[in-house]
A and B are shown apart, each in its own frame.
Chain A
């Protein structure tokens, strides 16, 4: 199986700053990596997917990088807003299997 570590349980930042979340994995290199957002009492919502041959992916204020040598993905939220406060999860597919391995998540709080 895959072991996935997200750098911190909680991260507090000031509104307007860039939040950077880290996802590290061990074992095999996945074909892609995903980031999800989860709000309290709700299921995760897909944000971005990055494939192993992509170094960087952007979507509005979100940016994801994927370094297969370091076995790490970085997730950035630029110009953060209080509405960005949530738990962010990274997820990787199992080897040849249709299931996702999730990190334990980082709870982001953007302070006004």
Chain B
């Protein structure tokens, strides 16, 4: 079974531009979460989608948005890029969402390395 795939793997943008990142979950997985990883802040939760609905959102500005399609593929968009948005953006998929005491293992993709100049 193919793992989580993310495209593109590397991206260079300039301040003020916008960017769209794509994530294809493992076949059969319906929950997709996005994380931002930086050396200073570590891994931080951005948002989570299940059945095309955003179920949770982390503490990020409205410039960060996402969506999920009927085939569970997901995209995230960052508008008006800032230098501080340079990071590794990771997508993780699971069969179902976890919550409370319920756990569903999340499988991470390789990430998209975004550099903002």
Contact = CB atoms under 8 A, between A and B. Distances in A.
Interface of A: 1, 31-32, 41-46, 49, 51, 89, 91, 93-94, 96-105
B111 interface: yes
Nearest to A6: B42
Contacts of B35: 100, 102
Contacts, number: 66
Q: By CB atoms of chain B within 10 A, which of A32, A46, A100, A103 has the most? A: A100
B17 to A, nearest CB: 24
Given A96-B99, A99-B33, A99-B48, A43 B111 contact: yes
Interface of B: 4, 31, 33, 35, 42-45, 48, 50, 55-56, 58-59, 90, 92, 97-101, 103, 105-111
Contacts of A104: 42
A44 B3 CA distance: 13
B108 A93 contact: no
Contacts of B107: 46
A31 B43 contact: no
